[in-house]
Structure 1
Amino acid sequence: MDARTESRPVRRRRGRELDNALLEAAWEQLQREGYAAFTIDAVAQAVGTSRAVIYRRWPGRAALVHAAVRAHTGTVTEHVPDTGSLAGDVSVLLHELADRIERIGVDVAIGLLSELDEIPDDVKATVPRVFEEVIDRARARGEIGGSPIPETVLSMPGALIRYSMISERAAPSDQALEHIANQLFLPLVRYHASL
Structure 2
Amino acid sequence: MPAAVLQAAILIGAASASFEMMRHLTDRLPAMITPRWVNSRIQPIGIDDALYYLVGAATLPAEVNRTFDIGGPDVLTYLQMMQQYAKVSGHHQRLIFVVPFLTPGLASHWIGLVTPVPTGVAKPLIGSLVHDVVCQETDLLDRLGPPPGGPMPYREAVRRAITPAPPDQSPPPAASLWSSDPDWAG
- Structure with the larger strand share: 2
Task: Identify the TM-score tier after normalising by the shorter chain.
Answer: under 0.3
TM-score normalised by L of structure 1: 0.24
Give the number of the structure with larger relative contact order, counting CA–CA contacts within 8 Å between residues 6 or more apart.
2
> More helix per residue: 1 or 2?
1
Which is greater in Rg? 1
TM-score between both structures, scaled by the size of structure 2: 0.25
